[in-house]
């Protein structure tokens, strides 16, 4: 396995030259991304690099100022009409960083899951819907009997995020965009929530875009990784390759930021001196930036 999709597999969601300008500021600059069934692409970068902007464009919260988005082979860069937007938003679901804010405190778990099911599966009667809700909870490793009547404030952060994930699954999406879904969770439970994302991706053939500032998370969940810096994708490839053989100084900096103590990359990555050099060059953008198209920075020896 080389970390790439099987040759000939078509992406479910694809962007070409996706660009977002806010006035004269370019938040996302010409992003080419492709999401494949049953696979995850991690979009890794630090705060302000343009990750959430990318998610908002892909979910049509914002409309791109340039470039193209294709879903299942159809161009969806601009969607006109409520119906088209609703259909798209069913297919491309979002899981947010803050699991509490995404849930309505006045409603219990059963309500949160029944509503999207009622819209998406009008064929189900009440008993069918109850069974489907239980199935969704089991799919995210929650016990239906124990969870169904709970309100958001009665659950842990991890349980809430699982409910958010179950809600996203309720409409049978082909794509899930997860924006830092574990960064607000207790460190001790992050891994098990990431495991659920991984299992669902494989079992249901869902394409995932996994947004994270943490390259270790990318390694855990994603077959491919794209590194974003100041709105530009500076490096992209199979995750193992990006981590084991980073080409861009910014990727090396991200790797160096992984705490040694639980560094999942093993020994041999002594990047601290390099990180200092890269940080300097980031502070002086001229030295890090592209000097001609595709031609990057002086790299520290």
Ligand X SMILES: Nc1ncnc2c1ncn2[C@@H]1O[C@H](COP(=O)(O)OP(=O)(O)OP(=O)(O)O)[C@@H](O)[C@H]1O
Residue number, 13 or 27, with CB nearest to ligand X: 27
181 binds ligand X per the rule CB under 6 A: no
Q: What is residue 260's DSSP assignment?
A: G
Residues 6+ apart with CB under 8 A from 176: 93, 94, 95, 165, 168, 197, 200, 201, 206, 207, 208, 209
Report, in Å, the least distance between residue 222 CB and ligand X. 17
47 binds ligand X per the rule CB under 6 A: yes
45 binds ligand X per the rule CB under 6 A: yes
Report, in Å, the least distance between residue 8 CB and ligand X. 33
d(CA 13, CA 169): 17
51 binds ligand X per the rule CB under 6 A: yes
d(CA 18, CA 35): 14
Q: Would the CA dihedral through 274, 278, 279, 281 be positive or negative?
A: positive
Report, in Å, the least distance between residue 228 CB and ligand X. 7
Residue number, 49 or 159, with CB nearest to ligand X: 49
DSSP string, 191-247: HHHHHHHHHHHHHHT-EEEEEES-HHHHHHH-SEEEEEETTEEEEEEEHHHHHHS--
Report, in Å, the least distance between residue 181 CB and ligand X. 13
Candidates 12, 13, 27, 194: give the one binding ligand X (CB under 6 A).
27
Binding mask 189-228 for ligand X (x = CB under 6 A): ------------------------x---------------
Stretch near ligand X under the rule CB under 6 A, chosen from 50-58, 107-115, 188-196, 233-241? 50-58
Report, in Å, the least distance between residue 262 CB and ligand X. 21
Residue number, 43 or 255, with CB nearest to ligand X: 43
Nearest 5°: the CA angle 260, 263, 264 is 165
Residues facing 13 on adjacent strands: 35, 71
Candidates 50, 152, 173, 181: give the one binding ligand X (CB under 6 A).
50
Beta pairing, strands 40-44 & 224-229: parallel
Q: Under the rule (CB under 6 A), what is the footprint of ligand X? A: 22, 25, 27, 45, 47-53, 213
């Amino acid at each position: 396995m080389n970390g790439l999709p099987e040759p000939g597999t078509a992406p479910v969601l694809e962007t070409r030259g996706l660009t977002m300008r806010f006035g004269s500021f370019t938040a996302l600059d010409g992003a080419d991304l492709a999401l494949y069934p049953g696979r995850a692409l991690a979009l890794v970068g630090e705060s302000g690099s343009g990750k959430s902007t990318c998610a908002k464009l892909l979910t049509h919260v914002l409309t791109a100022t340039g470039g193209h988005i294709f879903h299942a082979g159809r161009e969806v860069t601009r969607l006109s009409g409520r119906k088209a937007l609703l259909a798209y938003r069913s297919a491309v679901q979002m899981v947010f960083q803050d699991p509490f804010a995404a849930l309505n405190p006045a409603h219990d778990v059963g309500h949160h899951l029944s509503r999207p099911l009622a819209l998406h599966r009008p064929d189900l009667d009440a008993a069918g819907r109850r069974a489907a809700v239980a199935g969704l909870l089991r799919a995210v490793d929650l016990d239906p009997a124990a969870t169904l009547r709970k309100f958001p404030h009665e659950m842990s952060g991890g349980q809430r995020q699982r409910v958010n994930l179950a809600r996203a699954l309720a409409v049978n999406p082909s794509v899930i965009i997860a924006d830092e879904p574990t960064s607000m969770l207790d460190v001790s439970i992050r891994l098990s929530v990431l495991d659920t994302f991984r299992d669902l991706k494989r079992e249901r053939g869902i394409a995932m875009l996994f947004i994270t500032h943490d390259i270790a998370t990318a390694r855990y969940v994603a077959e491919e990784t794209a590194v974003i810096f100041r709105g530009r994708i500076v490096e992209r490839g199979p995750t193992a390759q990006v981590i084991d053989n980073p080409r861009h100084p910014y990727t090396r900096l991200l790797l160096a930021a992984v705490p040694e103590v639980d560094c999942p990359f093993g020994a041999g990555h002594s990047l601290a001196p390099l990180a200092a050099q890269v940080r300097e060059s980031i502070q002086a953008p001229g030295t890090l930036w592209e000097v001609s198209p595709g031609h990057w920075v002086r790299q520290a020896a």
